[in-house]
Amino acid sequence: MELISSELLGRILSFVSVRDQPWTICKAWWSIVNNNPEVMAHILVNSTSAPLLMLVKHGKSRGSEHCILSTLDRLLKMPRSCLDNYVCTCCIEAILNGYDITTSLLASNMLIDSEREQLLVYAIRKNLHHDIVHLILVEYAPRADCQDGQALVYAAQNGDLDMALLLLNWPEDAPRADCQDGQALVGAAGNGNLDLVRLLLEWPENAPLADSLDGQALVEAAARGHLDVVCLLLEWPENAPLADCQDGLALVEAAGNGDLDMVHLLLEWPENAPLADSLDGQALVEAAEGGHLDVMCLLLEWPEHAPRADSHEGEALVKAAEWGRIDVVRLLLEWPENAPRADSLDGEALWPEHAPRANCQNGQALVRAATYGRLDVVRLLLEWPENAPPANCQDGRALEFAARNGHIDVIRMLKSKL
């Protein structure tokens, strides 16, 4: 790197020593920096880890590409280690600014093959306009299937049907529709773009299987409430995912979101429906944490394989207490008394069983409620007529955490029960 000349450095230092005309000094300093690309380049390199990006943004602020070209030329002659780690970001900024010369200089001097690929992937991940992506593919010639089709995966995650078509139809090195074992399908399903999901499944070459990655597309669609996509996948004529794939994870995700229609659909699916108590009742726990009473009742009342209200040693109660879901806490604690009757095979009426104990997990529900200042839940647990947790359970952790977080009302409640 070239050093600033002693003559120029002397001029700069002479300005610093003058105190009676500060504005004159500032203007003179600006004139030196602005009109001397060498100085500007050195200042940028020594003041930021991304001098190229800073320079391109400077050109935008001044409304002219011409004002940065001389400095850019100096920067490009410096060692690569002095410049930006991610040159593709600078190229994108230059393209967005309409700086054709800057973009060309950066691409020809800085971009190796891997960075050209990164430029394509970055542009699609940022959901830039199709014309920009087309320009990158034509001018800088990255492979459309670079990084194992990551560009297609990002296009699918964005739900961009036109971008996916642009990549899949690219005349050279187009990505496979089933790249990364079907991750594009998973991304499209999670986005909820039904047309894009169908496009990938029907692609004439290397179409992804509907149950790719053990049904992950189904799980993503269910987790985000895309009922139409879930139905499409489950009804696909070949290699349809099982409704209970991944041990019923789709059901768990839907329950956690309080998606009653999705939970109904999965539980009632005619083949391989997930059990209501899949993953040892995790769907109930997730619904309790979210405060979804309707989903909880549906699960607890399901005629087959209903989850126990005290699944995971009462984890549903603990989560509900932590989030202050007092209606859920009461529902769980009262479950045997308040549940509707269900007819057994011999016609005798049975009551559901296995309500969680108010002091389950050594009073963990009380500790969580106290920690987060859930006064109503703390009172309900302490005053529960059966198996109420003691106020000093777990060596007084409820009181300790309430005090640490400044929940005065909870502290008073706990002390009144000691």
Per-residue pLDDT tens digits for 2-45: 555 656 655 555 555 555 555 555 565 566 666 678 888 888 88
pTM of the full structure: 0.81
Whole-number Å distance between alpha carbons of 139 and 131: 12
Give tens-digit pLDDT for 194-205.
999 999 999 999
With tokens 């790197």, the residue in question is 1
- The beta strand positions in 105-204, using DSSP E, are none
| Chunked mean pLDDT (size 10), the chain, 418 residues | 57 54 56 73 86 86 82 88 85 86 82 83 91 88 94 98 98 97 98 98 98 98 98 98 98 98 98 96 97 96 93 92 96 72 34 76 95 96 94 95 96 94
Q: Do residues 231 and 262 make contact, with C-beta atoms less than 8 angstroms apart?
A: no
- C-alpha 38, offset from chain centre: 43
> Given the DSSP bridges, would you call strands 342-343 and 349-350 parallel, antiparallel or unpaired?
antiparallel
Write out the two tokens for 131: 């014309």
- Name the nearest CA neighbour of 82 among 58, 103, 54, 108: 54
Q: What is the pLDDT of residue 44?
A: 84
Q: Is 395 exposed, middle or buried (0-12, 13-18, 19+ CB in 10 A)?
A: exposed
Per-residue pLDDT tens for 215-250?
999 999 999 999 999 999 999 999 999 999 999 999
Six-digit token pair at 149? 């089709």
List CB contacts of 286: < 8 A, sequence separation 6 or more. Answer: 252, 253, 255, 256
Other CB atoms within 10 Å distance of the CB of residue 9 = 12
Contacts for 71-77: CB closer than 8 Å, 24+ residues apart: 71/37, 71/40, 71/41, 71/44, 72/102, 72/105, 73/37, 73/105, 74/37, 74/38, 74/40, 74/41, 75/41, 75/44, 75/45, 75/51, 76/105, 76/109, 76/110
How far is Cα 299 from Cα 281, in angstroms, rounded to an integer? 9
CA gap 329, 319 in Å, rounded: 9
For residues 239 and 273, the answer to whether their CB atoms sit within 8 Å is no
